[in-house]
Structure 1
Amino acid sequence: MQGGSTGVGYGLKYQARCIADVKADTDHTSFIAGTLSLKEENEVHLIRLASGGTELVCEGLFSHPNEIWDLASCPFDQRIFSTVFSTGESYGAAIWQIPELYGQLNSPQLERIGFLDAHSSKIKCTLWWPSGRNDKIISIDEQNLYLWSLDSSKKTAQVQSQESAGMLHYLSGGAWDPHDINAVASTCESSIQFWDLRTMKKTSSMEHGHIRNVDYDPKKQYILVTAEDETGINIWDLRMPKAPVLELPGHTHWTWTVRCNPEFDGLILSAGTDSVVNLWQANLTDNTTDNSPIESPRKKADALLNSYSDYEDSIYGLAWSSREPWIFASLSYDGRVVVESIKPHLMKR
């Protein structure tokens, strides 16, 4: 099924790559997005879907000192988020807090409550554990994985442990397993590495080329989804790491990001540099939820439910709403946010 966007739009002032669901806001469907301007003062936008779903409202607009390359919202406090930023000469990462009375202020300033300043290599991303309250945060640079302990009341973040990925690996990102607080996957060009946070040691790896992005399936343990330059989208059962169990064709250019739905089984979003968002239904056998892996790897499948193609630039940001999981937001490089609502017949719990 092909079609243009019929969603609700919102425009950022500058170019942008990063958008996240404000999971801790249980009263509203909210997203937070950050801009990527080299010469101008960058901005963080707190965006809320108005009642009735016909309008996106800016609930807060905050200055951010540098280009935002990664943004993640705290899952247990709607006022806290983290960014990876570039000054033009170096990269840094910090944890920020939206001021409590921001709605009454003319020009509210973000409060920095933690500076992730232990990195010597280029920082790629920050990760919060998605499944509940946990005052730990992970930061990944090209060479290292850091585990931090956050104390928001004292406005400090302390390194708890750190480990190197090895000289031959250049890390590009990662994901925290929602089923296991001690398990993290990190990506590099030629493999996915799996880490145990209790020891900060690699437990295993999967060799596979040109991986852009990775996401765990929050509904099915052992299931991991990857976005890859050449092969599109691969779905893996981690108990059978030699080959993916399902291959989706992806995009006509680079497949840049993938996101698994928080509630609906097998519902996956992908976006890429072809200016398209694709919605997929990956039908995996039910035994992925028990202790036995999928019996045999699958071949390529065409599981495309819908394409949203009313964009003029590459799409780097995707976020499902955890409050209303039939809603998602996309962000194209030209700063355009579009929030879409999926038709009920396309979803299966």
Structure 2
Amino acid sequence: MEDGNSIIYGLEHQTRSLSPQYAESEAIRFLIGTQSLKPNSNQVHVVELEEDTGALHTKVFKHDIGEIWHLRCSPHDAANLVTTHNTYDPNTLQCTMGVSIFKLPTLQVIPKDLDELSSLQGRNAEDLELLVTIKPEKAEEEIRCAEWHPTDAGRLGVVYESSVRVHDVSSGAAVCSMKSDGRTRLKLTAGKWNPHQGHTQFAVLQDMHIKCFDTRTDCSKPSWSIDNAHRQLVRDLDFNPNRQFHLASAGDDAALNIWDYRNGKEPIFNRTDHSHWVWTVRYNSYHEQLLLTGSSDGRGLLYAAASICRDPDDDSEKTGKILEDGVLQSYEQHEDSVYCSEWSTVEPWTFASLSYDARLVISRVPRPFKYKLLL
């Protein structure tokens, strides 16, 4: 795979959920969930990039439980994943959301020999092993997403429309609950564990605001909050992996904001390069000044936010080893809203973006920017 040449993988059904295989340490793999309204037609695709040749290898698994709205691979076991899904019941004519934990029957994607390749080519979608399903307390309650705890393999944070509950992975039972302020009707839209502060904090997005709760307390009040983080709905957030007080957020005001939540009145970095809603933002795990965004304008953008990532004694600016703030590259191979952008957890220069038109685009950071960071 050469720099500047993206690889496109097309699916049969519409898509809006993507996750790297976090616990995988060698292969560049992404998992995709489909969102088809047809009964028993949804799937989970495992896509592996062969780095030397640029070839894509895939495995397809059935997800008959319903359309997938969110998917996240386990950071503890490469075989486990969790999906947030919507199921239509023809008997009651109603849709019910749920969260299901599955296990992949195999981790192998690239065939070892020609005989195995021939057998794989004629094979239909395989079954996933269902471990547990978590259902809302009320059938009509919506579920936004489910996030694995960063260090505790037995805990899962689930964001509902009006609360967050931490569930036991084995039984599905709720062990902790955080409810939104009863005086407001503002619904939650997403959430994520804080990878710092002892992995006890869970941040949620509520309308235009970001609020973070400590799961060791009664969760009646947030530990910290950023009010009016965006002028319109906040869609996504991601914590800086290296700086414990920094996080990035994206919203319907077409903005990318970076915050120091110790003083959340004004962002420390702000860009409005998209022309429509920004659905996703992701920090590079190795190089914190690199970020990805995806938007309803059909573009994925690669950003540099170098000016806020320098330490006081850092002389990289004098030596020229620093990127200029702003958009480094625009990726426009999509024809619909880009709902997800994710970095590979194995190769720091490789990333993927996914749009609603069932198109996965795998790209690499252009060589000039890569060398400027390394040399």
Q: TM-score, length-normalised on structure 1?
A: 0.88
Root mean square deviation, CA, Å = 2.3
Given the alignment, which residue of 129, 138, 143 partners 1:123? 143
Distance 1:6 1:285, change over 3 A: closer
CA contact (8 A) 1:129 1:177 kept: no
Q: Which residue of 1 aligns with 2:214?
A: 196
- Secondary structure of the corresponding residue to residue 340 of structure 2: strand
- Please report how far the alpha carbon of residue 249 of structure 1 lies from its aligned counterpart in structure 2 after TM superposition: 1.5
Equivalent positions of 1:308-327 (< 5 A) are 308-327=331-350
CA contact (8 A) 2:333 2:361 kept: no
Letter in 2 for 1:159: A
Deviations 1:69-99 (A, max 9, x none): 0000101111111111112412111111112
Given the alignment, which residue of 284, 289, 310 partners 1:286? 310
Q: Which residue of 2 aligns with 1:230?
A: 253
- Please report how far the alpha carbon of residue 222 of structure 1 lies from its aligned counterpart in structure 2 after TM superposition: 0.7
Distance 1:288 1:261, change over 3 A: farther
Letter in 2 for 1:78: A
- Please report how far the alpha carbon of residue 286 of structure 1 lies from its aligned counterpart in structure 2 after TM superposition: 3.1
Q: Which residue of 1 aligns with 2:43?
A: 43
CA contact (8 A) 2:291 2:303 kept: yes
1:216 aligns with 2:231: no
- Please report how far the alpha carbon of residue 133 of structure 1 lies from its aligned counterpart in structure 2 after TM superposition: 5.2
Q: Which residue of 1 aligns with 2:225?
A: 205
- Please report how far the alpha carbon of residue 250 of structure 1 lies from its aligned counterpart in structure 2 after TM superposition: 3.4
Partners in 2 of 1:95 and 1:250 — Cα distance? 37
- Please report how far the alpha carbon of residue 285 of structure 1 lies from its aligned counterpart in structure 2 after TM superposition: 4.6
Q: Which moved more, 1:82-91 or 1:68-77?
A: 82-91
The structure richer in strand per residue is 1
CA contact (8 A) 2:254 2:274 kept: no
Distance 1:164 1:113, change over 3 A: same
Letter in 2 for 1:34: G
Q: Which residue of 1 aligns with 2:69?
A: 69
Partners in 1 of 2:128 and 2:312 — Cα distance? 43
Partners in 2 of 1:96 and 1:332 — Cα distance? 24
Deviations 1:263-308 (A, max 9, x none): 112110001011101010002153599xxxxxxxxxxx96111101
Given the alignment, which residue of 350, 354, 357 partners 1:334? 357
Q: Which residue of 2 aligns with 1:93?
A: 99
CA contact (8 A) 2:301 2:330 kept: yes
Given the alignment, which residue of 152, 163, 172 partners 1:144? 163
Deviations 1:126-185 (A, max 9, x none): 11234x45321100011111111223xxxx322111121123131000121112310111
Letter in 2 for 1:61: F
Q: Which residue of 1 aligns with 2:25?
A: 26
CA contact (8 A) 2:134 2:172 kept: yes
Distance 1:53 1:314, change over 3 A: farther
Q: Which residue of 1 aligns with 2:192?
A: 175
CA contact (8 A) 2:304 2:325 kept: no
Deviations 1:227-276 (A, max 9, x none): 02115111000111111111012311111111111111211000101110
- Identity among equivalent positions (%) equals 29
Letter in 1 for 2:131: I
- Please report how far the alpha carbon of residue 106 of structure 1 lies from its aligned counterpart in structure 2 after TM superposition: 5.5
- Secondary structure of the corresponding residue to residue 234 of structure 1: strand
CA contact (8 A) 2:99 2:134 kept: yes
Distance 1:322 1:133, change over 3 A: farther
- Secondary structure of the corresponding residue to residue 286 of structure 1: coil
- Please report how far the alpha carbon of residue 29 of structure 1 lies from its aligned counterpart in structure 2 after TM superposition: 0.4
Q: Which moved more, 1:197-206 or 1:7-16?
A: 197-206
Q: Which residue of 1 aligns with 2:116?
A: none
Letter in 1 for 2:98: G
CA contact (8 A) 2:257 2:267 kept: yes
CA contact (8 A) 1:45 1:58 kept: yes
Q: TM-score, length-normalised on structure 2?
A: 0.82
1:17 aligns with 2:16: yes
Letter in 2 for 1:85: H
Partners in 1 of 2:263 and 2:159 — Cα distance? 26
Aligned residues: 330
- Please report how far the alpha carbon of residue 102 of structure 1 lies from its aligned counterpart in structure 2 after TM superposition: 8.2
Q: Which moved more, 1:262-271 or 1:196-205?
A: 196-205
CA contact (8 A) 2:254 2:277 kept: no
CA contact (8 A) 1:119 1:141 kept: no
